[in-house]
Amino acid sequence: MDDRQFRNAMSKFATGVTVIATEVEGQVHGMTANAFMSVSLDPKLVVISIGERARMLNLVKQSKSFTVNILAADQQEVSMIFSGQIKEAKEVQFGLLDGRPVIPGAVAQISCEVSAEHVEGDHTLFIGKVTDIHLEELEPLIFYSGKYRALKEEQPVKLS
Ligand code: FAD
Domains of the chain from N-terminus onward:
3-149 (2.30.110.10)
Q: Which atom of ligand 1 is nearest to the CA of 123?
A: 25
- With a cut of 90, say whether residue 155 has pLDDT above it: no
CB 103 within 8 A of CB 95: yes
Radius of gyration of the chain (CA): 16
Kind of pairing, strands 65-70 and 18-24? antiparallel
At 116-153, the pLDDT tens digits run 999 999 999 999 999 999 999 999 999 999 999 999 88
At 56-90, the pLDDT tens digits run 999 999 999 999 999 999 999 999 999 999 989 89
CB 133 within 8 A of CB 69: no
pLDDT at 158: 84
Our answer on whether the CB atom of 92 is closer than 6 Å to any ligand 1 atom is yes
CB 19 within 8 A of CB 29: no
Q: pTM, whole model, 2 decimals?
A: 0.96
Instruction: State residue 135 phi and psi, 5-degree precision.
Output: -120, 145
Our answer on whether the CB atom of 89 is closer than 6 Å to any ligand 1 atom is yes
Our answer on whether the CB atom of 83 is closer than 6 Å to any ligand 1 atom is yes
CB 130 within 8 A of CB 44: yes
